[in-house]
């Protein structure tokens, strides 16, 4: 209700209230007793009318305004209190009033949704936490009674096979008080909107950290609303199932009603704090998996705020022995949902004509923007795809028609199969339809999708990639794009029915936990596809819930995929490029609206330019092909990256010659810094990899380096080669960290394809615990670069120091410390550009030349050292690199070998020979 409507309702009473306020101002000089203030709370419901009538603020005394402010704040009308204190501060110009204004504005900021980004971000995927523990979070009131109840609860859980951990939410003055013999985690509770609005309460963080550590099966929360909200948000963030016991004082969410005009106004225009409390209550219920309420009548009073009724359990229906059965059912439901897998959506066969009509009307009024960008792949023409079939890489074309056996084609190769099920084949056809308006193209696409739907929507074939997480993620934008185009073209409802059925099936599939793999970049594409699906079809029931989940997943992925320094965590600059481009496109299209995510992506854009080598190709650490990064135009967010990726045609140059990603584990120097067009190729370039964050795309390349000098490529990386068929799960090669069966793929992952150290002829252990970043320092002084890093291996530790004087010398000093005193073999080895020529030179050195001109000498500091030199060897498979997927080209493999016990220090030097 707006002010003017309220003013009409209260026209007879507002004058009396005004008179009373003036009288209080004259007689009590602005001082009210607590009783008088409490008695005046109902009067404060009339304040909107009062404010509408005040006219010129200076017409009334400061005393009247101060009384008004106190009444408004006490009664919870914070937005109106802000208006009142704003007038007071203008009139008085006192510092105390300005402070009061700042305080009330902080409260109002909470009411206006400053906590929304935090709460929405915590509506996460609910990954299962399947230990045999239950965490009970209790409000601490009456110690003796509580401890008896806790003992009973603990016995009940033990009978059901679970251990009970206790969290006690206390007042600050009882934190140190403990008359219990049981171990209790005690934390301060939430006192009001300030703490919960900030999203940084100690309660939230303590509970979250504890849940991450113990991984309980269930969290039972028996606390007041504000504390419960913080705990349940922490549980949602940790992915733990929640049972919330609603406290008694919150039975009635609305203000108390009466028949007076004043209370009617309060009901129609409730105080802000009551509205805010109801929103907190709704959010808390939404994040809970089970809610124990006083009665089902309590649920009915919530109206649509409550969510699905299946999660509510009335406590007046259980007691005594019934509690054991209730908790057994709850824990059984939790255990039975260890992983919510994709199911056949219950609505996919029941889309009604009425729903089609309603949803179509909404889509016409809310057309999607940028649909063409969802159909982006290039290569084949529309006519070729329809007449010949869809062709992917070197595989034979697949004929597309209503008779296509979708679940049994392209099964020989996983990448081929999953790409088919992304519907990439639609892209040229839909782009041509958008440009020409030829209805036959749209109808062909709808017929092919209908054929796919008939095979895939109920498919559970283990060999099919139809519902693989990446196929689902990349298909969803194409699905909603096709839906919007079909609606705008006014195709018949029967064709739309099948598309809407697919929308529901995709909604169900995205919500499943198996569709969101947060440990690698797949999770980003899953969250992106889910966000596009939900934002574009909000007319479909429960899409708002799907959107909240998607936005939470997106924030998780931004934090997990890019460190605070902007580096991507999957050890591969090309995946950095790919994820960065996708994040940036989603931001540009308005799919991602989170400022925190945008800031992280800006840092990632700055880092990207440093992964471009002097020849304009991508640095090949990890799973990175030698992709050409140069173009005449760039959309990079960072201007220095634009300058590099356009070779100076756009953007702004940077004079920096050293770039350090300390959290990620990269150190890169480019010297001299290119400042003009076409200077990139003339520089020297040195990059060191010193990161291990997960198994994703991680090669045996700890402390490996790549080196160019004055535009000449010298030390190279093995590259990616591509993936291919996976190894069987029983293969012993799995224990070495290999997933793929092709020996050439295995080689480029191995320690021999990288410029690093091997002990006892073994690969680096990729099954050990990730160490994060091993980078210690990187600095430059008088044109000399010094980089120091150290990483733990299984059974030994490796420290590498690089000293680089461009155009003159590169020194690589390795220190190996074994964990035992046994004798070990070692190999310090390098892969040299195969276009150069290498010959042995002396007892401990090699000579490197180009076209008969010696350019460098490579030498070992050891007096007694073995040497090994190979180029393009088939047996063993050593001395190769892959610049382009599924292709190898020869390199020189040079190594210094020997034995040591305890500690080894070895220095390899590359002395450049001037022309």
Question: Are 497 and 438 within one domain?
Answer: yes
At which of 96, 112, 128 does a domain end? 112
Q: Which two tokens stand for residue 43?
A: 């009067």
544 and 423 assigned to the same domain: yes
Residues 132 and 176 occupy one common structural domain: yes
Quick one: which of 177, 178, 175 has its CA closest to 189?
A: 175
If asked whether residues 467 and 453 sit together in one domain, one would say yes
What is the rounded distance in angstroms from the CA atom of residue 258 to the CA atom of residue 268?
A: 12
Distance between CA atoms of residues 137 and 128, nearest Å: 19
- Which of residues 77, 112, 147 is at a domain's end? 112
Burial of 455 from C-beta contacts in 10 A (0-12 / 13-18 / 19+): middle
Last residue of a domain, one of 67, 96, 112: 112
Residue 347 lies in a domain: no
Pick the more confident residue, 599 or 432. Answer: 432
d(CA 892, CA 454): 54
CA torsion 311-314-317-321 (nearest 10°) is 70
- Distance (Å, whole) CA 305 – CA 333: 24
Q: Which of 855, 755, 869 is nearest to 814 (CA)?
A: 755
Q: Judge whether 824 lies within some domain.
A: yes
This prediction's pTM:
0.56
Number of domains in the chain: 4
- Please tell me whether residues 293 and 419 are part of one structural domain: no
Distance of CA 681 to the CA centre of its chain: 36
Task: Assign 62 to helix, strand or coil.
Answer: helix
pLDDT at 111: 56
pLDDT tens digits for range 495-522: 899 999 999 989 988 988 888 887 777 8
For residues 373 and 469, membership in a common domain is answered with yes
- Contact criterion met (CB below 8 Å) for 532 and 591: yes
How far are the Cα atoms of 132, 393, 460, 571, 731 from residue 161, in angstroms, in the given order?
A: 7, 54, 34, 42, 37
Strand partners, 828: 757, 896
CATH code for position 141:
3.40.50.2000
Structure token pair of residue 849: 């030349």
Mean pLDDT of 750-763: 98
Answer whether residue 672 is part of any domain: no
Is the same domain home to 218 and 165?
A: yes
Give the residue from 517, 506, 496 showing the smallest Cα distance to 466: 506
pLDDT tens digit sequence for 606-653: 999 999 999 999 999 999 999 999 999 999 999 999 999 999 999 999
Domain housing 768: 723-912
Mean pLDDT of 139-161: 68
Residue range 357-375, pLDDT digits in tens: 999 999 999 988 888 888 9
Instruction: Decide if 304 is inside a domain.
Output: yes
Cβ burial of 432 (10 Å; 0-12, 13-18, 19+) is: middle
pLDDT at 378: 83
The residues, any chain, with a CB within 8 Å of residue 399's CB and separated by 6 or more, are 388, 389
Same domain, 106 and 146: no
In a domain, 709, yes or no: no
Q: Do 538 and 395 share a structural domain?
A: yes
Residue 406 belongs to some domain of the structure: yes
| Residue whose pair of structure tokens reads 């597309």 in the numeric block | 400
- Within-domain flag for 145: yes
User: Would you state the structure tokens that stand for residue 98, as one six-digit string?
Assistant: 């300005």
Are residues 374 and 314 located together in one domain of the fold? no
Question: Do 18 and 127 belong together in one domain?
Answer: no
* Within a domain: 599: no
What confidence tier does 587 reach under pLDDT thresholds 50, 70, 90?
confident
Binning pLDDT at 50, 70 and 90, where does residue 85 land? confident
Q: Residue 751 is part of a domain; what is its CATH number?
A: 2.70.98.70
Residues 91, 124, single domain; the answer is: no
């Amino acid at each position: 209700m707006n002010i003017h409507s309220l003013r009409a309702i209260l026209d007879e009473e507002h004058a009396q209230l005004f008179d009373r306020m003036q009288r209080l101002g004259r007689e009590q000089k602005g001082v009210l007793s607590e009783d008088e203030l409490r008695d005046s709370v109902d009067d404060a419901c009339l304040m909107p009318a009062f404010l509408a009538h005040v006219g010129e603020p200076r017409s009334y005394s400061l005393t009247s305004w101060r009384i008004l402010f106190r009444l408004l704040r006490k009664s919870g009308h914070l937005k109106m209190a802000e208006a009142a204190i704003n007038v007071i501060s203008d009139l008085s110009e006192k510092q105390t009033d300005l402070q009061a204004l700042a305080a009330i504005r902080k409260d109002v900021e909470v009411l206006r949704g400053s906590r929304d980004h935090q709460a929405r971000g915590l509506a996460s995927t609910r990954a299962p936490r399947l230990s045999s523990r239950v965490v009970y979070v209790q409000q601490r009131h009456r110690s003796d009674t509580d401890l008896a109840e806790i003992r009973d609860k603990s016995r009940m859980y033990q009978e059901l096979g679970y251990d009970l951990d206790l969290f006690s939410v206390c007042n600050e003055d009882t934190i140190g008080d403990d008359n219990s013999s049981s171990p209790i985690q005690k934390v301060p509770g939430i006192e009001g909107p300030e703490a919960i609005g900030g999203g940084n309460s100690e309660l939230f963080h303590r509970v979250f950290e504890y849940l991450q550590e113990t991984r309980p099966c269930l969290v039972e929360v028996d606390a007041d609303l504000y504390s419960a909200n913080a705990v349940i948000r922490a549980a949602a963030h940790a992915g733990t199932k929640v049972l919330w016991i609603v406290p008694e004082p919150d039975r009635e969410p609305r203000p108390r009603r009466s028949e007076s005009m004043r209370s009617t106004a309060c009901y129609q225009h409730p105080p802000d704090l009551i509205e805010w409390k109801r929103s907190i209550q709704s959010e808390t219920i939404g994040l809970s998996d089970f809610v124990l309420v006083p009665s089902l009548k309590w649920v009915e009073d919530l109206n649509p705020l409550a969510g699905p009724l299946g999660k509510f359990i009335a406590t007046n229906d259980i007691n005594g022995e019934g509690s054991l059965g209730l908790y057994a059912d709850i824990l059984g439901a939790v255990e039975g949902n260890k992983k919510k897998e994709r199911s056949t959506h219950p609505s996919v066969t029941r889309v009604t004509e009425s729903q089609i009509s309603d949803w179509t009307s909404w889509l016409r009024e809310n057309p999607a923007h940028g649909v063409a960008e969802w159909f982006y792949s290039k290569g084949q023409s529309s006519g070729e795809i329809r007449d010949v079939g869809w062709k992917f890489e070197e595989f034979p074309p697949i004929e597309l028609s209503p008779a296509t056996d979708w679940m049994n084609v392209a099964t020989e190769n996983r990448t081929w199969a999953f790409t088919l099920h992304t519907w990439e084949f639609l892209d040229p056809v839909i782009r041509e339809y958008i440009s020409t308006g030829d209805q036959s193209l749209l109808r062909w696409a709808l017929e092919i999708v209908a054929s796919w739907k008939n095979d895939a929507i109920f498919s559970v074939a283990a060999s099919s990639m139809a519902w693989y997480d990446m196929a689902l993620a990349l298909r969803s934008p194409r699905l909603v794009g096709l839906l919007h185009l079909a609606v705008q073209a006014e195709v018949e409802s029967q064709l739309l029915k099948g598309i809407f059925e697919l929308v529901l099936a995709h909604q169900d599939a995205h919500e499943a936990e198996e569709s969101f793999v947060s440990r690698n970049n797949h999770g980003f594409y899953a969250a992106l596809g889910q966000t596009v699906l939900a934002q574009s079809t909000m007319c479909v029931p429960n899409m708002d819930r799907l959107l909240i989940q998607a936005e939470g997943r997106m924030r998780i992925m931004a934090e997990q995929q890019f460190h605070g320094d902007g580096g991507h965590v999957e050890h591969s600059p090309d995946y950095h490029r790919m994820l960065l481009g996708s994040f940036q496109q989603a931001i540009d299209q308005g799919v991602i609206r989170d400022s925190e995510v945008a800031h992280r992506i800006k840092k990632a854009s700055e880092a990207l330019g440093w992964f471009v080598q002097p020849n304009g190709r991508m640095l090949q650490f990890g799973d990175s092909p030698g992709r050409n990064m140069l173009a005449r135009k760039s959309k990079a967010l960072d201007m220095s990256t634009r300058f590099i990726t356009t070779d100076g045609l756009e953007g702004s140059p940077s004079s920096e010659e050293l770039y350090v990603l300390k959290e990620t584990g990269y150190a890169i120097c480019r010297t001299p810094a290119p400042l003009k067009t076409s200077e990139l190729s003339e520089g020297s370039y040195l990059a060191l990899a010193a990161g291990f964050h997960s198994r994703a795309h991680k090669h045996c390349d700890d402390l490996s380096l790549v080196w160019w000098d004055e535009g000449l490529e010298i030390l190279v990386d093995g590259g990616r080669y591509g993936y291919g068929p996976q190894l069987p799960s029983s293969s012993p090669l799995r224990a070495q960290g290999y997933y793929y069966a092709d020996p050439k793929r295995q080689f480029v992952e191995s320690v021999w394809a990288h410029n690093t150290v091997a002990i006892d002829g073994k690969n680096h252990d990729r099954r050990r615990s990730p160490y994060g970043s091993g980078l210690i320092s990187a600095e430059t002084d008088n044109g000399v670069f010094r980089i120091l890093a150290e990483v733990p291996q299984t059974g030994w530790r490796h420290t590498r120091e690089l000293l680089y004087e461009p155009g003159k010398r590169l020194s690589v000093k390795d220190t190996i410390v074994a964990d035992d005193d046994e004798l070990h073999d070692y190999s310090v080895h390098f892969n040299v550009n195969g276009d150069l020529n290498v010959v042995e030179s002396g007892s401990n050195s090699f000579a490197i030349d180009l076209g008969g001109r010696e350019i460098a000498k490579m030498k070992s500091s050891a007096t007694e050292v073995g040497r090994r030199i190979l180029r393009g060897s088939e047996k063993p498979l050593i001395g190769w690199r892959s610049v382009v997927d599924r292709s190898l080209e020869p390199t020189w493999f040079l190594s210094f070998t020997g034995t040591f016990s305890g500690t080894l220090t070895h220095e390899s030097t590359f002395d450049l020979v001037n022309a």
